[in-house]
Amino acid sequence: MKLQAKTTLLTVSLSGAMIVLLITVSLVSFRYFSLSTAKDHVRSAAEIVRVSLTEAMINGVINQRSQFLERLSEVDGLLVARVIRGPHVVSQFGEGLEKEKVANSIEKEVLVTGKPHFLMVEGDTGPTFKGTIPFVATNVGTPNCLECHAVKNGEVLGAITIHLSMTRLKEEALITISIMFVIVLVFASFFTFFFRMQVSPVVQTAQGVSNVVAQAKDGDFSGRIDYRGSDEMGLIAKDLNQLMEHLQNNLGTISQDVAILMRYELKGNTNLITTTTEMVETLLEVSQFKQAVEEDQTIQEVYTRIGYMLTENFGIKHFSIYEVSSDKEYIKPVIVDGEMEATCKWCDPEILLQADSCRAQRTGHVIDSIDNELICGKFKHDSSIDEPVGHLCIPTFHSGVVGSVIQIIIPREHGRLYQNLLPFIRVFLRESAATVETKRLLDTLRETTLRDALTGLHNRRFLEEYLETLLATTKRKEQRLSVLLMDLDHFKEVNDTHGHDVGDLVLKSLAALFSSQVRNSDLVIRFGGEEFLVILQESEDYSGRHLAEKIRQAVEKLVIKIPGGELHKTISIGVGGYPSDGDDLWDVIKAADLALYEAKRAGRNRVEVYTNKLQDLEKL
């Protein structure tokens, strides 16, 4: 209920209560006054009758008492006036008249107790007051009762019953109460009007405050209170208007500044309080997020943290993080639905081989399929998801070009929600972009130092750094390794005869061949000069000896095109095994070197596997 209605109800209730109270008090007072007056009238009438009867007895005209009582009953309002003889009078003077006998139990009781009895009754003619007053013998006065009656002092001689009509008194009371009611009603109306006049500024100000605060809760601080009084209400209105103006100017500016910082577009009906609070809270989370990614050691940890952010902060279950190669030739997935280095799941695999087929990478714009389902032809719906979904592909920039693409998959029914959340997601990605770029550059630089510049294969430094990890993994999985140490036969003749450019061409051709002959899990390393090293995990159908022979035959068949002709070369290979040929991998490499030496001594273009006999030959 509004304050205006409350004040109206209050004044009406107070006025009504006052009217009811006054009427009730008046009715009770009039009733009390009427009964009291009626009692006095009955007592006065009884006293008149007593005196008249006494005078009649003295004057010897007691036999004319009936005429007196009849004339008395003609008095206006006096309905009945009847004398009752008591037992003592009856025994002394006889029964008397018929109408002087006891008529009812009330008269009998009064004669016995000597106490008056009064009663108000409603009859056909209106309200009637009935009173029965006893005549008690007394020896006071001259003459007194004992001079005529043979009774003792205090005994009841008789009684008189008086009936008074209260109709006229009731009518007068109603007229009086009606006049009072009108007077009170006029006063109550005036009071209500005056009270509302006094309370009206308070009500108007309260309603204005309510409306302004309601607008402010929705982020609209343009509301004002239109009250110009100089009283306390006017001061409240003035102060609140100033507060709203201050909030409108300053909070609006803060919201605009934070929105610019977040690159968030504030709409006309935006709730400034809610939106600003959300943006500030997001910036705080972003600051903490940025500090965390900067402290991460590897780029894989950064990508994992980004995936965790998408899941925990925004409730995104399905997403992909793609890394664009520095030459923009290809894209590789680094995280898919929280799994590192998983296969492409939500896109056509074509984007992995041709980066420009990814619309987000090609245009550098956010790709939103919520409003346009067919915007990207490379999006692929996972058949394991029953509900209709859409996607948002968000490019992040490294040094002005797209360095990665974050694809989030969302149910279409929640599409609008995530379109609104997109600016908040992007600020996290922007703050992490610099760290991702830095760590990618560091990884590239580190990778450069760990690879041979000529062949592109890992170098000996990589082996030195990776060897301990490789050995620990092998021990934990209880696996066996084979080490192939390979040396190109008569390579010095190539450099001496054809020059170093041809020698480099031969080395690059061999490196390409080695990479094509091994599995992805095998390591191919340029060990030094024309020496190469292959480390592989052995299985029942895949051994070092088998791979070495396969490589030897491939090299033997290799035709290397050179200026002015072609070359055919052969290779010698020594094979060692872990842990059979050493507890340390360097010992195994040394064993493979002994086997390589034996292959060369035995005529080259052959494979030799290390045995204990070779160890004995080394001692000789």
* Beta carbons within 10 angstroms of residue 567's beta carbon: 16
Q: Strands (DSSP E) along 546-603, which ranges?
A: 560-562, 565-567, 571-578
Residues 105, 16, single domain; the answer is yes
Q: What is the pLDDT of residue 228?
A: 66
Residues 485, 435, single domain; the answer is no
Would you say how long the chain is, in residues? 620
Instruction: Give tens-digit pLDDT for 109-121.
Output: 888 888 999 888 8
Instruction: Report which of residues 218 and 187 the model is more confident about.
Output: 187
Residues 236, 155, single domain; the answer is no
Residues 286, 333, single domain; the answer is no
* Beta carbons within 10 angstroms of residue 458's beta carbon: 21
Instruction: Give tens-digit pLDDT for 559-594.
Output: 999 888 889 999 999 999 999 998 888 999 999 999
| Of residues 55, 84, 88, 82, the one with CA closest to residue 155 | 88
In a domain, residue 204? The reply is no
Cβ partners under 8 Å of residue 361, min gap 6: 322, 324, 328, 331, 351, 355, 395, 402, 405
Q: How far apart are CA 350 and CA 213, in angstroms?
A: 57
Q: What is the pLDDT of residue 597?
A: 92
Torsion sign across C-alpha atoms 334, 340, 346, 348: positive
CA 15 to chain CA mean position, Å: 46
Q: Strands (DSSP E) along 444-570, which ranges?
A: 481-488, 523-528, 531-537, 560-562, 565-567
Q: How far apart are CA 337 and CA 317, in angstroms?
A: 7
Which residue is associated with the tokens 């007394």?
Answer: 138
In a domain, residue 194? The reply is no
Strands 331-336 and 401-411: unpaired
Residues 291, 328, single domain; the answer is no
Residues 138, 64, single domain; the answer is yes
**φ/ψ (deg, to 5) at 505:** -65, -40
In whole angstroms, how far apart are CA 154 and each of 40, 56, 86, 158, 394?
A: 22, 22, 13, 12, 120
pLDDT at 606 over 90: yes
Bridge partners, residue 28, by sequence: none
Bridge partners, residue 567, by sequence: 560
The whole domain housing 76 covers: 3-172
Q: Strands (DSSP E) along 109-217, which ranges?
A: 117-123, 126-136, 156-165
- What CATH code is carried by the domain that includes residue 80? 3.30.450.20
In a domain, residue 500? The reply is yes
Side-chain-facing half-sphere of 39: CA atoms under 13 Å: 10
Q: What is the pLDDT of residue 261?
A: 63
Which residue is associated with the tokens 């009283």?
Answer: 231
Q: Sheet holding 339-340: strands in order across?
A: 339-340, 331-336, 318-324, 401-411, 389-398, 367-368
pLDDT at 526 over 70: yes
Q: Which of 275, 295, 315 is the last residue of a domain?
A: 295
In a domain, residue 398? The reply is yes
Residues 141, 29, single domain; the answer is yes
Instruction: Give tens-digit pLDDT for 393-409.
Output: 999 998 888 999 999 99
In a domain, residue 196? The reply is no
Which residue is associated with the tokens 């490294």?
Answer: 398
pLDDT at 441 over 70: yes
Residues 497, 611, single domain; the answer is yes
Instruction: Give tens-digit pLDDT for 456-505.
Output: 898 888 888 888 888 888 888 888 999 999 999 999 888 888 888 999 99
Residues 76, 138, single domain; the answer is yes
Q: What is the pLDDT of residue 593?
A: 93
In a domain, residue 205? The reply is no
Q: How far apart are CA 339 and CA 317, in angstroms?
A: 12
In a domain, residue 206? The reply is no
pLDDT at 52 over 90: no
Q: What is the pLDDT of residue 620?
A: 45
Q: Two tokens at 127? A: 């309200």
Q: What is the pLDDT of residue 106?
A: 87
Residues 280, 312, single domain; the answer is no
Q: What is the DSSP letter of 124?
A: T
Residues 22, 150, single domain; the answer is yes
Element housing 210 (H / E): helix 167-217
Which residue is associated with the tokens 């008569």?
Answer: 490
Side-chain-facing half-sphere of 28: CA atoms under 13 Å: 6
Is the pTM higher than 0.75? The answer reads no
Q: What is the pLDDT of residue 510?
A: 92
- What CATH code is carried by the domain that includes residue 580? 3.30.70.270
Instruction: Give tens-digit pLDDT for 199-214.
Output: 777 777 777 777 877 7
Torsion sign across C-alpha atoms 297, 301, 302, 303: positive
Residues 421, 531, single domain; the answer is no
Q: What is the pLDDT of residue 203?
A: 73
Q: Which of 414, 442, 470 is the last residue of a domain?
A: 442
What's the structural domain count of the chain? Answer: 4
Q: What is the pLDDT of residue 266?
A: 60
Bridge partners, residue 119, by sequence: 130
Q: Which of 252, 279, 295 is the last residue of a domain?
A: 295
Q: How far apart are CA 457 and CA 460, in angstroms?
A: 10
Q: What is the average pLDDT value for the chain, to the nearest integer?
A: 83
In a domain, residue 183? The reply is no
Q: What is the pLDDT of residue 496?
A: 87
Q: How far apart are CA 357 and CA 360, in angstroms?
A: 9
- What CATH code is carried by the domain that includes residue 339? 3.30.450.40
